[in-house]
Structure 1
Amino acid sequence: VSLTRNEESAHGKVSCALHHLQTVTTRYTITNNGTRKVPCLYVEHSARADRGGFVIKTMEHCEKQVTGWARYCLAVEPESEVVLEVVEEASYQEALRMTDSAIAK
């Protein structure tokens, strides 16, 4: 979070803007209980749409990606477990009025 002070607005009120960078990680755990290798197991991930939309940052194992969606290909050995962590980021601003009542919240 960073803080930027804006000077008086047209209405004579002082305000500032809070800049947020939010990161969310989704963990997929895949277990192969079989006796054969799975050469390519697809995991499709959709990004969150709140906060103006999140951007998918994880590129490892990514086969295809468009805005807000990505497909990952994982090879899973017999009787083993694979973990895929997908990281998303959103950057947004929050206006904050510089009045006593707004600051007290």
Structure 2
Amino acid sequence: MLSFLKAESLQNYVKQMDDLVNNLLLRETKDKDTLATVIFMKKLTITFSCTILFGIHDELTTKALFDYFTVTFKAYLSLPIYFPGTAYWNGLPARTRIINRLPPIIR
């Protein structure tokens, strides 16, 4: 991870990051006049992480991880009430899905 964060290494990723931002921005604004900035930044963060850190180029996997992380973050910010229908209740299975998906990706 330290070698990834060195200036020399980051210079190699600038073009790739620029392409990712442009593609995602075009996709998110297609046929729309507005952009949900917070959602866009979350998608961009997950896309960067999947593509650059993990080398995942599969859009379905990236979208699934985005969905799982969105539900998990809502659970993290909620009251820890383990009751059907609550954000916490929905977040626990999403967290499990993330944990189950990451080891094969990391390997």
Q: TM-score surpassing 0.5?
A: no
Higher fraction of strand:
1
Question: If the length of structure 2 is used for normalisation, what is the TM-score?
Answer: 0.17
